[in-house]
Amino acid sequence: MSGRWIVRAALAGLLVVPVAACARVDAGEVGGTAIGGLGGDGNEVVLRVEQTGGLLPPAALFGRLPVVTVYADGRVFTEGPQTLAFPGPALPNIELRRITVEDVDALVARARAAGVGSGVDLGHPAVADAPLTRFTLTVATGTEVLEVYGLVEGDQPADGLTEAQRAGRAKLRDLLAALTDLPGTLGSDRVGAAEPYAPSAVAALASPWHGDPAGSPASSAVAWPGPALPGPPLRSGLEQGCVVVRGDAATELLTLAAKANAQTPWTWGDDRWSVVLRPLLPDETECADLAAD
């Protein structure tokens, strides 16, 4: 498999529609930049890096957060430091930082320089069960997607890659490092302090609870405050269902989850459920967003 480049031309007509006013951040307006044609409320994703596939259970695959998401208004979401304690927290540590729209444009230029949108051949290393790293770039002219198999794992001499493919992959690893260290990339004075993210909706991936792991203390069950569990399956044949919790129920869930952990059983009716909580990002609205290819 080579790196895959997709231009979603169908989006272009939608994205170039001019708007009378654009989202403003401290340093100026969106207009006049590479993202100037992206109208709307600032919830448009300009740059996203995510991992798909790999050897993980379905709930972990679908509940996985993007590595980094950059929005048109300068908000940047990443997953913050994680505790090594077991069991882990019920909620992921999502951090929000803010940058100027000019610096969003600078990240777009950096992504292009690294090969996103170029159709570069990145090869397919001889590594089993590695994830795909997907770089998605959306500007006024359309959306470009570059997918790389085994970006981190496939970097050994025996992996069957050419020198050109190794060089292309190195550029993308450097891009990933730059996007996950914005103070070092843009300058600490140009990046807002990390803020906790307060989502307005949370997806819940539910499956039957099979008891505490051997040797673990007994878990205390918590009454589920959201829609009926387990919800429809994300994919045919999967054990996991999915529901989205919104409004006051989401507020209650976040309060309960802050005191729970990843092993906590949640009760609905007479049943207990294992639930993976995945806060929805600003551009996400439904469970289907987590299962999108």
Contact between residue 48 and residue 65 where contact means Cβ atoms under 8 Å apart: no
Helices (H), 73-162: 101-113
Question: Which pair of structure tokens corresponds to residue 292?
Answer: 């999108």
Assess contact for 121 and 167: CB atoms under 8 A: no
Minimum mean pLDDT range among 62-66, 110-114, 126-130, 255-259? 126-130
pLDDT category at 40 given cuts 50, 70, 90 is low
One-letter amino acid at 114 equals A
The residue ranges of every structural domain in the chain are 4-190, 199-291
pTM of the model: 0.84
Residues 6+ apart with CB under 8 A from 227: 243, 244, 245, 249
Amino acid at residue number 174: D
Sheet of 45-52, strand order: 4-7, 142-149, 132-139, 45-52, 68-71, 75-79, 94-98, 195-196
Per residue in 137-177, pLDDT tens? 999 889 999 999 999 876 666 578 899 999 999 999 999 99
pLDDT computed for residue 15 by the predictor: 28
pLDDT of residue 38: 62
**pLDDT over 70 percentage in the chain:** 84
Q: Which of 226, 223, 214, 212 has its CA nearest to residue 271?
A: 223
CA distance 114 to 111: 5
> What does pLDDT average to over the chain?
84
Using pLDDT thresholds of 50, 70 and 90, give the confidence band for residue 246. Answer: very high
Q: In 59-95, which positions are buried (b, 16+ CB within 10 angstroms) versus exposed (e)?
A: bebbbbbbbbbbbbbbbbbbeeeeeeeebebbbbbbb
Distance CA 81, CA 180 (A): 12
